[in-house]
Structure 1
């Protein structure tokens, strides 16, 4: 059962593997450029496991930021995961004790895969989603650790390295757009984000955007589900 679920989950995680290895390399290189050991990269990728927050944490560590500052910054950056969790309640409902690990390993990319993927016939859903989460986390750990090792051995200009995170989000968005025929959820997300960016500014738009996206998708959920079923049957 587990092997079958792993075999079904692995191909879906390949785009994330490509992105996480390069994104993790970027993080590890930047961390090493601040004088931190590769062990810090491995430790942070296991304990924190948050791409955007880990990048911010580099400067926080280098500046000796206080615990309170770090905690507030973490909440502000990662609060979007609250909305991810709300939308996965049904999928995580009957997965047993694996749920706690899956909640911990939920990232933007993992959420993207789990929210849009269904286990093949005969594959246990709990193990299927668990292995998606576990595989993605393992890619991140490997990328961060290898990047820090490489960065400690080779010195070069790291300007622009952190752009790989933005590139990864774009690749995942395009990949989902090509894989689905129902584009209204994506358009709703883009539209709400742009409007909130205009009205609230670059520093404050994420939470209002998430709330508006969640509200609109919740209101039109049944309609969108019916349209998706029609596309799947056609």
Structure 2
């Protein structure tokens, strides 16, 4: 919202976009095992991996005797269609309905809190969740609230990759 209400700064826009979208690196790392061996549909699954799709696919257990490729494809495809349809509907209705967006800036923070809570409830994900929380707090302490996102993501990515290498070897 700040980006839209202030003078355009290309440097700030680039880093804001990088910070907001860098979460897909972590989503992708978390889905490597689930998407392993799914063939050509894997590219589509990666392309359509968004917050909602990640939340569902990372926490759901596919039914027994279910084709994993079809299962994950349907979730991703439907989420993608819902996203496009909702955006189209919102843009059409938005021209007719005035809506005060004051106070809406909490939504992204709330989304990440809910995603964190859902992930921490799964025993296997607790270490990764604690790494994320710890790295974020460390970055907050070292870099302050205005500059913590990129260092925190760097710390998290590094520790998760080190952890993965230790576990895999």
TM value normalised by structure 1 = 0.55
Q: Does 1:92 align with 2:43?
A: no
What is the 5 A alignment of 1:184-203? 184-203=127-146
Does the CA-based 8 Å contact 2:41-2:69 persist in structure 1?
A: yes
Measure, in 1, the Cα distance between the counterparts of 2:104 and 2:91.
13
Give, in angstroms, the shift of residue 56 of structure 1.
Answer: 7.6
Which has the bigger relative contact order, CA under 8 A and spacing at least 6? 1
1:88-116 C-alpha deviation (Å, 9 max, x unpaired) = 33433322221222111112342343334
Indicate if the aligned counterparts of 1:110 and 1:133 stay in contact, CA closer than 8 A: yes
For 2:45, the equivalent position in structure 1 comes to 102
Alignment partner, residue 73 of structure 2 = 130
Alpha-carbon RMSD:
3.5
Task: Give the Cα–Cα distance (whole angstroms) in 2 for the partners of residues 108 and 56 of structure 1.
Answer: 22
The separation in 2 between residues aligned to 1:206 and 1:173, in whole angstroms, is 16
With over 3 angstroms needed to count, the CA separation of the structure-2 counterparts of 1:117 and 1:169, relative to structure 1, is same
Answering whether residue 159 of structure 2 is matched by residue 216 of structure 1, we say yes
Residues paired across the two proteins, number: 167
Question: What's the counterpart of residue 26 of structure 1?
Answer: none
Are residue 161 (structure 1) and residue 101 (structure 2) matched? no
Indicate conservation of the 8 Å contact 1:80/1:206, yes or no.
no
Choose which of 54, 59, 71 in structure 2 pairs with 1:111: 54
TM-score (structure 2 length as normaliser): 0.72
1:121 counterpart residue number:
64
Q: 1:71 to 1:223 in 2, by over 3 A?
A: closer
Query: Would you say the 8 A contact 1:88–1:115 is kept in 2?
Result: yes
Q: Can you list the C-alpha shifts for 1:182-208, whole angstroms capped at 9, x where unaligned?
A: 533322222221211221233432233
The runs of 4+ residues in structure 1 deviating greater than 6 Å are: 62-66
Q: Quote the Cα distance in structure 2 between the aligned partners of 1:158 and 1:115.
A: 31
Residue 95 of structure 2 aligns to a residue whose secondary structure is helix
Structure 2: gaps (5+ residues): none
Q: Which runs of 5+ in 1 are unaligned?
A: 1-54, 225-234
